[in-house]
Structure 1
Amino acid sequence: MHIAFYGSSLVSAYWNGAATYYRGLIRQLALRGYDVTFYEPDAFDRQAHRDMEPPDWAEVVVYPADAQNLAAVVRKARDADIVVKASGVGVYDDELLDGVMAAARPDALKVFWDVDAPATLSELAALPDHPLHRALPDLDMVLTYGGGDPVVDAYRRFGAQRCIPIYNALDPDTHFPVAPDPRFAADLSFLGNRLPDREARTKAFFLQAAQMMPERRFLLGGSGWQPSELPGNVRLIGHVPTTDHNAFNVTPLAVLNICRASMAQNGFSPATRVFEAAGAGACLITDYWEGIDLFLEPDREILVAHDGAEVARHLTELTPERAHAIGERARERILASHTYADRAQQVDAIFRERKPEQETFPTPDRDLRKANA
């Protein structure tokens, strides 16, 4: 079964937090026998900041972000058994949605994969003429990065035939414990690009805690932050490539997760960072959001804070021994229940159900799994 997947980028995580989500899922779908072509625009300087070369488990087509080349890649949708348009491609999103779904064969599965459902749903509520309103009734399904029942119910109200959350997860071949790296030494670290709906929460949870604990060391990774705006005990290191994420996560005493405002308000939306940090065995502190306990147990596998003062309290009470124990329990839980192999099995079952004429799909075999390890 051939999947034409139109997304932001598979080969670059630069200003593209969905990259590891795409990689984990698509690699595991390839292991289950799917043939995936990922179409991504050459935009936002992502190709200049690639953190991986095109893999052997997916074909990657990078196209110039102009109308002529857009039309060429849209036509490729007619060759696919499953056509996926992801949210947040960043250029020509509306034209891509209309174009690839119109180009898809009548027997193809048509999927909108939303990697920022709360934001998309806010747009749908505010914009009656949003192209997705027109597309939803004709799509076979909406798959989402998360969101739980609130997102499912909202999409159904807007006319989606079916909406299913496919949560973030761990790729244990990518995120795992490594030796500490002095470059990332700190008491508390946070990794996140500066975005409008994250900035206020970063100040409330991370920078407030730093101001309350001037004797402790804080480390901030990500693009868009300015050193002059940070407390003196916060060290800014800029963009952190995915090759350094494991060391970034395991070196400090604890790592902080801060959800974007829309995802925190909606709940049931664990970020990729949660699973990546847990996979490395990091002690994770997260801002509160509904549904945390579906993934990790508070106070045992993860620490939960409602504001910067509570972050500071957790840090004050945290010893290296307790931090290590929390990180190890989190890693065991995630490996047992929340890997991309689990998510791909779920997606495979959904596709099987919607393609009843396909009595059997390819299944993993040992040689293919070994070749892609």
Structure 2
Amino acid sequence: MNVRELKALGVDVNFEKENIHTLTAEGEMLLSLIAAVAENESVTMSENVQWGLRRKYEAGSVKSIPLGKCLGYRKDKHGNLDIVEEEAVIVRRIYQSFLDGMSITEIAADLESEGIRSDQGNTVWSLSSIRKILRNELNKGDFLFQKTYNQDPLTKKRIKNRGELPKYYLEGSHQGIVDPEIWACVQQEIQKQEAYCKAHNITRYHHHNEENPLSSRITCATCGSTFMLLRSKRTGDEGRAYWRCSNFLGKRGKPIEGRTFTPLPRPLTSKVPESSPRRYYREKKRKLPSPRQMLCTDIQVPAKKADKAFMRAWNLIIGHGLRYAASYREMARDGKDELTRYRAGEMARLMEERGRSKEFDYDLSLRVLDHIEVTADGKLAVIFLTGTRVTV
């Protein structure tokens, strides 16, 4: 409880040294003056400290890095960063798991299942902490100074620096936990996933799991939306699983030029026996649908067909292994960016390691498959993470 609250309750506080009584007008005025002077001194001191820190940032002083709790690093007695190898193993694992196709949610669940503790010492991993690890340039041996700053020297509230103050980037400031190329691969993969979500109108990239391995990974070449796995409720066809463009939900299917489509007639719902003359009359007299402009939402892909398309495409690449392997080795050496080179190297390695597959391999799909595109004529084009496109 502060002096103001005590005064509101009618309690007089007597400062003997200054001879101030808070309930008197004179005491109130003197107290306000003293508080103003103290506040000004605090602000001045804070500004001096901040000025000193910024000069250190400009000079690239490693000792001025505000480490806090950071998985994989500790400061020694001289202020230098040292790698804690027991924790660094966890950081490298998180990076590799992400590049192997695991979602942040799956990575967190995997770590929790083994009782591995986070940088805060918790056995429960927040998704934000894993995102921070994946994006933190500290892990590759660099540091960006002044990402946040104190908005108010009195409240000490820190906010993100969105250009209000200059930032200083120091390369090679310390030994990195992960290779700079791996760090760059992860950043490019994050950007790629964000671009995929935007292009295909989805809010989350990792909808797929072992039970539904191709969820959000089948796209419509006509409208760009993803396909949904549905089950038929049609009489006589109940339970059939198939993929359909998700734009059917809002009846926003786009027309496919040069193609027509005739919908199936509605099934007769009458319980009249098949042999009954009444049923025969109904079937003869009912109005059948007329042909119309075909929409992308009219295309249905049997559930197992998509799984088989991926395996056929993979086995086709294995069948032409010499040609594809040579191409991937060249790409791994001369690719346009770190992620392209990494994906090409992994593809060549997995071709040699895995060989042909007889059934759908979820782990393999995470490592090599980008998505499957359904063309206007209903064919399936399998696009791999290397950019290789195989239509089956």
TM-score class normalised by the smaller sequence: under 0.3
Provide TM-score, normalisation by structure 2.
Answer: 0.21
**Larger RCO of the pair (alpha carbons < 8 Å, separation 6+):** 1
Structure having the higher Rg: 2
